[in-house]
Chain A
Amino acid sequence: MRMNWLSKSLVAAGLALAPAAALAADFPTKDVRIVVPFKPGGGVDASSRILAEYGNKHMTKAKLEVENRAGGDGVVGQTFAAKAKADGYTVLAMTSSVVTNPILKQTGYKLEDFRPVALYNTDPEVIAVGADSPFKTIGDLVAASKQRPLTTTIAGIATSHHMAGLALEDAAGMKFTYVPTTGFGAQLQAVMGGHVELGLFPLGEIKKHADAGTVRILSVAADSRLDILPEVPTWQESGLAIKRWTTFRGWAVPKGTPDAAVKYLSDLLGKISADPAYIKQMNDYGFLVAYKDAAGFTEEVNDYAEVTARVIAKHGLTEKP
Chain B
Amino acid sequence: MTEIALGFATLLDPAVLGFLMIGILAGLIVGSIPGLNDNIAFAIFIPLSFSLSSTYALALMVGLYCSCAVGGSIPAIMVKVPGTASSVLTAIDGHAMARSGKAGQALGIAITSSVFGGVSSALVLLLFAPPMAAFALRFGYVENFSLGLLGMASVLGLLGGSMIKGLISAVLGLLVATVGFSQQTGLPRFTLGIDSLYEGVPFVPLLVGLFGVTAVLDLAEELIRDRRKGATPRQMPRITDSLMLDWRMTKRLLPTWLQCSAIGNVIGIIPGAGMLMAIYMGYERISHRYKRLFAGKPGEPEWGEGAPEGIAAPEAANNAVVASSMVPLLSLGIPGNSVSALFIGALMIQGMVPGPLLFIDHPDIAWMIIVAFLVANVLMWPVSYALVRTISGLVFRMPKAVLVPTISLLCLTGAYSDENSMFSIGVALAAGVVGYVTRRLGIPHAPLILALVLGRTIEDNLGNALAISGGDWTIFVDPVGHPISLALILGAAAFMLAPLAAETRNRYRRRATLKMEA
**Cβ-defined contact, B464 with A67, below 8 A:** no
**Cβ-defined contact, A188 with B181, below 8 A:** no
**Cβ-defined contact, A208 with B353, below 8 A:** yes
**Cβ-defined contact, A182 with B467, below 8 A:** no
**Cβ-defined contact, A193 with B138, below 8 A:** yes
- Interface 1/0 per residue, B55-71 and A, CB below 8 Å: 00000000000000000
Asked if A96 is at the interface (CB within 8 A of a chain B CB), the reply is no
Residues 314 to 373 of chain B near chain A (Cβ within 8 Å)? 328, 332-335, 341-342, 344-345, 348-349, 351-353, 355-357, 360
Contact A50 B140, CB 8 Å, known A192-B334, A213-B356, A319-B187: no
Complex contacts, B468 vs chain A, CB 8 Å? 151, 177, 179, 195-196
**Cβ-defined contact, A79 with B195, below 8 A:** yes
Contact A41 B183, CB 8 Å, known A69-B420, A180-B464, A212-B357: no
Asked if B476 is at the interface (CB within 8 A of a chain A CB), the reply is no
**Cβ-defined contact, A66 with B47, below 8 A:** yes
Asked if A72 is at the interface (CB within 8 A of a chain B CB), the reply is yes
B183 and chain A: residue at smallest CB distance:
A180
Asked if A164 is at the interface (CB within 8 A of a chain B CB), the reply is no
B47 and chain A: residue at smallest CB distance:
A49
Q: What's the nearest-Cβ distance from chain B to residue A170, in Å?
A: 19
**Cβ-defined contact, A71 with B345, below 8 A:** no
Partner among A71, A79, A104, A192 whose Cβ is within 8 Å of the Cβ of B202 = A71
Partner among A45, A50, A182 whose Cβ is within 8 Å of the Cβ of B183 = A182
**Cβ-defined contact, A285 with B353, below 8 A:** yes
Contact A317 B186, CB 8 Å, known A73-B181, A76-B419, A208-B355: yes
**Once the chains are docked, how many angstroms separate the CA of A211 from the CA of B195?**
38
Asked if B141 is at the interface (CB within 8 A of a chain A CB), the reply is yes
Complex contacts, B197 vs chain A, CB 8 Å? 72
Asked if A68 is at the interface (CB within 8 A of a chain B CB), the reply is yes
Interface segment among A105-113, A242-250, A255-263: the answer is A105-113
Partner among B140, B183, B334 whose Cβ is within 8 Å of the Cβ of A185 = B334
**Once the chains are docked, how many angstroms separate the CA of A214 from the CA of B354?**
12
**Once the chains are docked, how many angstroms separate the CA of A215 from the CA of B193?**
39
Residues 175 to 223 of chain A near chain B (Cβ within 8 Å)? 177-182, 185-186, 188-190, 192-196, 208-209, 211-214
Asked if A158 is at the interface (CB within 8 A of a chain B CB), the reply is yes
Residues 171 to 229 of chain B near chain A (Cβ within 8 Å)? 181, 183-188, 193, 195-199, 202
**Once the chains are docked, how many angstroms separate the CA of A71 from the CA of B199?**
7
- Interface 1/0 per residue, B136-157 and A, CB below 8 Å: 0111110000000000000000
Asked if B460 is at the interface (CB within 8 A of a chain A CB), the reply is yes
Q: What's the nearest-Cβ distance from chain A to residue B342, in Å?
A: 5
**Cβ-defined contact, B357 with A208, below 8 A:** yes
**Cβ-defined contact, B199 with A151, below 8 A:** no
**Once the chains are docked, how many angstroms separate the CA of A287 from the CA of B34?**
38
Complex contacts, B467 vs chain A, CB 8 Å? 151, 177-179
Q: What's the nearest-Cβ distance from chain A to residue B272, in Å?
A: 7
Asked if B286 is at the interface (CB within 8 A of a chain A CB), the reply is no
- Interface 1/0 per residue, A88-118 and B, CB below 8 Å: 0000000000000000111110000000000
**Cβ-defined contact, A212 with B355, below 8 A:** yes
Partner among B43, B333, B420 whose Cβ is within 8 Å of the Cβ of A208 = B333
Asked if B429 is at the interface (CB within 8 A of a chain A CB), the reply is no
Partner among A46, A108, A195, A208 whose Cβ is within 8 Å of the Cβ of B141 = A195
Asked if B423 is at the interface (CB within 8 A of a chain A CB), the reply is yes
**Cβ-defined contact, B464 with A71, below 8 A:** no
**Cβ-defined contact, B185 with A157, below 8 A:** yes
Asked if A296 is at the interface (CB within 8 A of a chain B CB), the reply is no
Q: What's the nearest-Cβ distance from chain A to residue B179, in Å?
A: 12
Q: What's the nearest-Cβ distance from chain A to residue B267, in Å?
A: 16
Asked if A284 is at the interface (CB within 8 A of a chain B CB), the reply is yes
A130 and chain B: residue at smallest CB distance:
B137
**Once the chains are docked, how many angstroms separate the CA of A108 from the CA of B421?**
16
Complex contacts, A107 vs chain B, CB 8 Å? 195
Complex contacts, A190 vs chain B, CB 8 Å? 140-141
**Once the chains are docked, how many angstroms separate the CA of A79 from the CA of B196?**
11
Complex contacts, A42 vs chain B, CB 8 Å? 345
Asked if A232 is at the interface (CB within 8 A of a chain B CB), the reply is no
Asked if B42 is at the interface (CB within 8 A of a chain A CB), the reply is yes
**Cβ-defined contact, B351 with A157, below 8 A:** no
Q: What's the nearest-Cβ distance from chain B to residue A321, in Å?
A: 12
Contact A193 B137, CB 8 Å, known A73-B181, A76-B196: yes
Complex contacts, B334 vs chain A, CB 8 Å? 185-186, 188-189, 192
**Once the chains are docked, how many angstroms separate the CA of A177 from the CA of B196?**
29
Complex contacts, B196 vs chain A, CB 8 Å? 71-72, 76
**Once the chains are docked, how many angstroms separate the CA of A40 from the CA of B351?**
16
Contact A49 B181, CB 8 Å, known A69-B420, A73-B199, A182-B460: no
Asked if B277 is at the interface (CB within 8 A of a chain A CB), the reply is no
**Cβ-defined contact, B356 with A285, below 8 A:** no
Q: What's the nearest-Cβ distance from chain B to residue A64, in Å?
A: 12
**Cβ-defined contact, A192 with B353, below 8 A:** no
**Cβ-defined contact, B271 with A189, below 8 A:** yes
Partner among A40, A71, A194, A284 whose Cβ is within 8 Å of the Cβ of B421 = A71
**Once the chains are docked, how many angstroms separate the CA of A158 from the CA of B357?**
32
Complex contacts, B128 vs chain A, CB 8 Å? none
Contact A319 B188, CB 8 Å, known A66-B47, A151-B468, A208-B353: yes
Asked if A53 is at the interface (CB within 8 A of a chain B CB), the reply is yes
Asked if B473 is at the interface (CB within 8 A of a chain A CB), the reply is no
Residues 258 to 309 of chain B near chain A (Cβ within 8 Å)? 271-272
Contact A41 B141, CB 8 Å, known A69-B419, A75-B198: no
B51 and chain A: residue at smallest CB distance:
A53
Complex contacts, B351 vs chain A, CB 8 Å? 280-281, 284-285
**Once the chains are docked, how many angstroms separate the CA of A67 from the CA of B185?**
31
**Once the chains are docked, how many angstroms separate the CA of A276 from the CA of B342?**
27
Asked if A156 is at the interface (CB within 8 A of a chain B CB), the reply is yes
Complex contacts, B181 vs chain A, CB 8 Å? 73
**Cβ-defined contact, A189 with B186, below 8 A:** no
B335 and chain A: residue at smallest CB distance:
A185
A-B pairs with beta carbons under 8 Å apart, 20 shown: A41-B42, A41-B341, A43-B348, A49-B349, A72-B195, A73-B181, A73-B199, A76-B195, A76-B421, A104-B186, A106-B193, A185-B334, A186-B272, A189-B140, A192-B137, A208-B333, A208-B353, A213-B356, A214-B333, A286-B353
Residues of B that sit less than 8 Å from A by CB:
42-43, 46-47, 50, 137-141, 181, 183-188, 193, 195-199, 202, 271-272, 328, 332-335, 341-342, 344-345, 348-349, 351-353, 355-357, 360, 419-421, 423, 460, 464, 467-468
Given contacts A68-B420, A214-B332, 19 further A-B contacts (CB under 8 A): A40-B342, A40-B345, A46-B349, A49-B349, A66-B47, A72-B199, A73-B181, A151-B467, A180-B183, A182-B460, A185-B333, A188-B334, A189-B137, A190-B140, A192-B332, A193-B138, A214-B356, A281-B351, A319-B187
Across the A-B interface, the 5 shortest Cβ-Cβ residue pairs: A157-B186, A284-B351, A195-B140, A41-B345, A72-B195
